[in-house]
Amino acid sequence: MPTSTTTSTFLNPPQHQTFPSPPRILIIGAGSRGTSYAKAALSSTNATIAAVCEPNAHKRAAFGRRFIWGADRVPAFGSAFPDWRDWVKYETARRESAATGEGLTGPGGYAPVHVDVVFVCVLDEMHEEVLLGIAGLGVHVCCEKPLSTGLGSCVRILGALGGKGVQENGHAKGEVNGHIDGEANGTTKHKETVFGICHVLRYSPHNMLLRHLVLDQGVIGDVMSIEHVEPVGWWHFSHSYVRGNWRKESTTAPSLLTKSCHDIDFLMWMLCTPPTNAEQTPHLPSYITSTGSRKFFRRARKPKEAADATNCMSCAYEPECEYSAKKIYHDRHLGSGNTGWPVKIVNPEIEDIYKTSGKEAAAKQLLENLTEDYTSGTPTAEVEARPWFGRCVWEADNDVCDDQCVTITWHDDPLSTDEEGRPELKNRGAKTAQFHMVAFTEKICERRGRIYGTKGEIEYDSSTIRVHNFSTGQTETHEPHQAGGGHGGGDEGLVRQFLMAVNAVDNEAMPAATAQREFLGCDLEEAFRSHAVVFAAEEARTARTVVDWKKWWNEKVEGELHKQ
């Protein structure tokens, strides 16, 4: 768990973290998340973005110009790759060359680029392949959430990266694996590495203060229950989970995982992870259940006026439709001058077209992209291979839930008894978490909720925390520091804390497991446990049952780990 110093750092984050030896970062995947973490690294630390792996040539070049080699320079040797496997081959050759004393050189005799840290920001379904593919290279790794798209895949990652020492029911006892680092003079040494998962909700000043008030200061006594809501946003859901990459469970994963796994992690962090500096085991759940479905974005809900249209650009009902792709991408965003997300997701080149040829040319290209459609005769593989942003939301091939509720129940779990033999239940008594992921909201991902305690009640949204005290009848309002960047400063907070952990291991000889606790407050096993809750909830939803956590964990996790 984070120390009190770490808690203070979160509550009063430094404007800029300066390292004596700035870490060099490789970004694998130059999409929205890769770009966000590159920006966060440069804005919150003196780290450098040294290299990028990205299959899309335009995105790779744009990313490089922005973060690595600049507008007027060419990429340095080893700074840009179309595929992560190309980087692995390059890095292997670089190390072998260094070990023999020959020294690998690029065009013009330039020294090769090398990195200390890798951020994995590829599509969710590629995470396992990439993580296992780079696991032996001795680099620090931070992976975008989710860890992977299936329970089996996550278990394999856990086993490969150091999780075979997981105790019964998900209490970790192992440490992070070390790796062989073959560097100068042909010698090898055991190098410990830091692993982070981008559960960014943990790292915003707002949520750090919320947890500090609830667990460290106990302002409402023992927590009895939490109601937590993620309002995805009406057009955001249609963009990402109806028309976009995350629309089908068979090609990615359930929306509870792809959209809300860090909300489940937030709840586990609040109710399962012990308070700061407490020498306690996690308070593990007892039962999990869930209900949810694709309620609205299906053909049965299609307005009659839309008739047989499958694309907004050829639909008579489009001018009246709230979910019109033309209204969302062209009118709402490009029309106001926004060429970033979500417009650039439709076409990554829109930003450049807007800058070089103007708004009218960008609009023309965008509308052409939105006319792209498929028919009943289009091969399924072709349909599933890409997003279709002009597709009618009631005629898409989506199947993920647009409304889902999860209930997690804890029973009493005392660690000790008092002098009279009574169980001591502080922070470990029976409690309940209720989570609601809903698409149909005005707010876009601005979480809100209530926490009910024995001495008071907390109401929170993304900007304020209101604490009501039962005894005094008074309500105190906290307005945490509003950091810039994504997720209320969570992106910056995560990257800063991760790189601080890296610096502690590389430059201060701190054991990786200690650095994980000191700066990240989370290790691989804890991150995995949150994912496991998501998979258990999905099993409960699809089977219409209540999952017994202990039994489920022993069968689905422990059993599989022992097979590895």
**175 falls in which pLDDT band (50, 70, 90)?**
very low
**Each residue's pLDDT tens digit, 85-143:** 999 999 999 988 888 866 666 665 556 889 999 999 999 999 999 999 999 899 999 99
Q: What pLDDT, on a 0 to 100 scale, did the predictor assign at position 4?
A: 37
Instruction: Name the more confident of 447 and 486.
Output: 447
**Residue 217 predicted with pLDDT over 50:** yes
Q: What pLDDT, on a 0 to 100 scale, did the predictor assign at position 174?
A: 39
4-201+491-525+549-563: which CATH number, 3.30.70.100, 3.40.630.30, 3.40.50.2300, 3.40.50.720?
Answer: 3.40.50.720
Distance CA 449, CA 297 (A): 26
CB atoms under 10 Å from CB of 409, counted, come to 17
Domain ranges of the chain: 4-201+491-525+549-563, 206-297+398-482, 299-384
Question: What's the mean pLDDT when you consider all of the chain?
Answer: 90
**Each residue's pLDDT tens digit, 343-392:** 999 999 999 999 999 999 999 999 999 999 999 999 999 999 999 999 99
> Quick one: tokens of 124?
């969710």
**Each residue's pLDDT tens digit, 508-543:** 999 999 999 889 999 899 999 999 999 999 999 999
Q: What pLDDT, on a 0 to 100 scale, did the predictor assign at position 3?
A: 34
**Residue 189 predicted with pLDDT over 60:** no
- What per-residue string of b and e applies to 312-337 under the rule 16 or more CB within 10 Å gives b? bbebebbeebebbbbbbbbeebbeee
Q: What pLDDT, on a 0 to 100 scale, did the predictor assign at position 201?
A: 94
> Quick one: tokens of 498?
């991760």
Q: How many CA atoms lie within 13 A of 433 on its CB side?
A: 23
Q: What pLDDT, on a 0 to 100 scale, did the predictor assign at position 165?
A: 43
Residue 336 CB contacts under 8 Å (≥ 6 apart), including other chains: none
DSSP conformation letters of 313-381 = GG-TTGGG-TT-HIIIIIIIIGGGT--STTHHHH-TTHHHHHHHH-HHHHHHHHHHHHT----TTS-HH
Query: Using CB atoms within 10 A of its CB, is residue 492 exposed (0-12), middle (13-18) or buried (19+)?
Result: buried
Q: Which CATH architecture has domain 206-297+398-482?
A: 2-Layer Sandwich (3.30)
